[in-house]
Each structure stands twice: as structure tokens, then as C-alpha cells.
Copies of this chain bind each other. A is one copy, B any other.
Amino acid sequence: MSDFGTHNYIANLSIDCVIFGYEEQELKVLIAKCIYGDNLWNLPGGHILRTESIEAAASRILEQRTGLKDIYLEQFRVFGHENRILESKYRDILHAHLTNKYDESTANWITDRFVCIGFYALVDISKVNPQKGELDEKLELRGIKDIPEMLHDHQEILNYALEALRQNLDQKLIGFNLLPETFTMKEVQELYEAVYDREFPMNNFQRKMLQLGILERLEKKFTGASNKAPYLYRFKK
């Protein structure tokens, strides 16, 4: 029997995860290439067991796709248009493929209307071990400027996640794995510039960041003989 279906999961309710990481001064997102279709990508997602909370479902899906436990997750928006799946141009393609693998009622269940709860996660890319799901050909971390066309409304879901991250980046910095244990102010600024996709004036940025009161200044970072060595910071414990 297929794992999908109302015997295990809540029908018509799904979760999609926008998994952000930061690497080489670029904000990246984990996306999956579907085994169906020619070049069909989507956000990692899944369904909610009848016996688990929505947060537990999101954590489970995240662990299945990244190998990571205890990652901070935040719900940011529900996507509930009545036709977001039913009138998606990808629905018929998916349904035809699914009936080759599953019985008709399972294929119908998977491609029925779904209200989607969007969660985003911030992960340390170096620790991610991408794991394919049942319908994935492969997973990739892609720069947010390099996202291919995605299934259904997944680009819209990503856009909202990015907006939510931008709105609260100051508060979300703490303990969030987007930066190493210690870092220079320039590294924080590069992270902000990658997330917001714009430049910040340096002096202003440093003042604003210190005003947040979340950073602790450590020793200088001596990589050479320069007396211009930058200070290192870490998040206050």
C-alpha cells in the first residue's frame, strides 16, 4: 500500500519548506528536481501525519531531505487558492505519471486540492546532506538568483519566504547557522547584502548592527601584520 492517503495523513493540507543556506556570499535554497517532466523543479514538501503537529511534520520533512535535526523552522504563510493545484499546468503531467506508479485513487489524492503551509528554515550548508524523496531525481542548493521554473506556485512561496526573512533578519540572526561561530562585521554585511540583494553603506551598517545589542566583540582577527585587522564578533550567549 502506498504511504500516501488519508489513512496516514490529513487530506488537502500540505507543507512546503524553503530551506535557506548561505555560502560564498550568496543566499541559497534547496530545491528538488522531480523524476517526472522534462526539467521540473519544486520545493521540498510533504504531508502531515494525523498524529503529529504541523511543526513536527515540517521538522520531519526537513530531516528527511537534509539529514539535519533540530533546525529552527518558522511558518510564514498559508497558500490556499482553490485552484493552486487543480488548475496548475503541471497537474495533468504529474497525474499521468503517478498512475504508472500508484493506483488511481492515490494519484487523485496526491493531485487533489491542497492548502499549503509554508515554512522556512535557515541551515548551515556545510552540514546539509541532501536526501532524495520518493519523487525526486536529485536535490540541489541553488542561488536565489538562479532558480529554475518551479511547479505550481512554488516560486511565489519562495518569494514570500524571502520577504519574511528580510522583514526579520535582525531578529533571526541569533543562533541561526547562517554565519560561523565568529565573524567579522564585513561578513555580517555580506550576508545582509546577499539576503536583501542590495548594498548597505558600511558605517551605517556597522552602527545599526551594534545598536541591536546582539553582538559581542572579541579579539581582532590577525591574518597578517596589518594594524587594520578587523574585529571578530559572535552572538551574545
Q: Do B13 and A115 touch across chains, with their CB atoms under 8 A apart? A: yes
A135 to chain B, nearest CB (A): 23
CB 8 Å contact bits of A1-30 with B (1 = contact, 0 = none) = 000000000111100000000000000000
Binary interface profile of A, 36-59, with partner B (CB < 8 Å = 1, else 0)?
000000000000101111111100
The interface residues of chain B lying within 8 Å CB-to-CB of A51 are 82
Q: How far is the CA of A82 from the CA of B50 in the complex (A)?
A: 7
Contact check: which of B54, B55, B78 meets A75 at CB < 8 Å? B78
User: Whole-angstrom distance between the alpha carbons of A103 and B81 in the complex?
Assistant: 31
Question: In the docked arrangement, what's the CA distance between A51 and B12, Å?
Answer: 12
Q: Is A113 an interface residue (CB 8 A)?
A: yes
Total interface residues in chain A, CB < 8 Å: 22
Residues of B within 8 A of A53 (CB): 80-82
Cβ-based interface call for A77 (8 A): yes
Instruction: Please report which residues of chain A, range 50-81, place their CB below 8 angstroms from some CB of chain B when the two chains form the complex.
Output: 50-57, 75, 77-78, 80-81
Q: Does A117 contact B (CB under 8 A)?
A: yes
Question: Which B residue's beta carbon lies closest to that of A81?
Answer: B53
Closest B residue by C-beta to A80: B54
Residues of B within 8 A of A77 (CB): 75
Query: A residues within 8 Å of B by Cβ?
Result: 10-13, 48, 50-57, 75, 77-78, 80-82, 113, 115, 117
